[in-house]
Amino acid sequence: MDYEIKKEGKFEYLEVGEGEVLMLLHGLFGALSNFSDLIERFRTTHKVVVPLLPLFDLDILHTSVTGLAKHVDQFIEHKGYDQIHLLGNSLGGHVALVHVLKHPEKIKSLILTGSSGLFENAMGDTYPKRGDYEYIKNKTALTFYDPSLATKELVDEVFEITKNRIKVIKIIALAKSAIRNNLGDELKQIQKPTLLIWGKNDTVTPPFVAEEFHKLISHSQLHFIDKCGHAPMMEVPGEFNDLLDNFLQSLPK
């Protein structure tokens, strides 16, 4: 599915549908394709918004979780969105958490899936290796329970990014920033209804991470999906979307 990307100043984003805002924040190697099933399902009931996070456009000092969260803050201010359902996968979940902690007034609910912020298996200094296609292919496959979901198209996207030395430096900077920016007990401040959807076979942010989020965020509910890795909205979109739909419908209008 091809989507029209809107550009306004420094902001690039997708916006489709009408209704309450459902904002999706992608991860480190995220793309609109990660959310295609979700967008199609909810564009009939919500205004679905996907800001493209400037992973490679910030200067190196601001290439961090807080730098990305500031960009999201400014985007929300620019668009005048309110009562947002904020959903983040992986690094996008971490960015969502930082935003909610600083600006809870505009958020109606929070949805996290495979989020960093407490613990994640780090990429380390050796990742991503430039020019080693097989290595990138194997690393990409680890995102999923079913490695066949690491399609050639997806691996090619990641490989293309890792061929650029500056982008590699920024990816490592963001990964290290995510590890340093451990939210721990701050999560107890979150009072918004929160949905946690986690793959039981997530090796990047394993199930114990979801249980810790559930323990620390008071108004949270946790759902595990079996035979599923780090990106449930891609790997099991039907089940993911049903859980999200039930959660959104349960909230007061």
Query: In this model, does residue 139 exceed pLDDT 70?
Result: yes
pLDDT for 124 equals: 43
Q: Is residue 204 domain-resident?
A: yes
Residue 76: the pLDDT is 98
pLDDT, tens digit, for every residue of 184-237? 989 999 999 999 999 999 999 999 999 999 999 999 999 999 999 999 999 999
Instruction: Domain count for the chain, please give it.
Output: 1
Residue 153's domain spans which residues? 6-250
At 28 the pLDDT is 87
* Arithmetic mean of pLDDT, 146-151: 92
The answer to whether 9 touches 77, Cβ cutoff 8 Å, is: no
Give the domain CATH number at 211: 3.40.50.1820
pLDDT at 1: 63
Query: Reading across the β-sheet that carries 11-16, which strands appear in turn?
Result: 6-8, 11-16, 47-51, 21-25, 84-89, 107-113, 194-199, 220-225
For residue 8, the 8-state DSSP code is E
Residue 1 lies in a domain: no
DSSP-derived 3-state class of residue 144: coil
pLDDT 10s digits, 17-63? 999 999 999 998 877 788 999 999 999 999 999 999 999 999 998 99
- The DSSP code sequence of 184-250 is GGGGGG--S-EEEEEETT-SSS-HHHHHHHHHHSTTEEEEEESS--S-HHHHSHHHHHHHHHHHHHH
> Is 28 a domain residue?
yes
pLDDT band of residue 136 (cuts 50, 70, 90) is confident
Tell me the whole-structure pTM to 2 decimals. Answer: 0.94
pLDDT digits (tens, 9 = 90+) for 73-126: 999 999 999 999 999 999 999 999 999 999 999 999 999 999 999 988 754 444
Per-residue confidence at 3, pLDDT binned at 50, 70, 90? Answer: confident
User: What is the predicted pLDDT for the residue at 135?
Assistant: 85
> Alpha-carbon distance 147 to 63, whole Å?
30
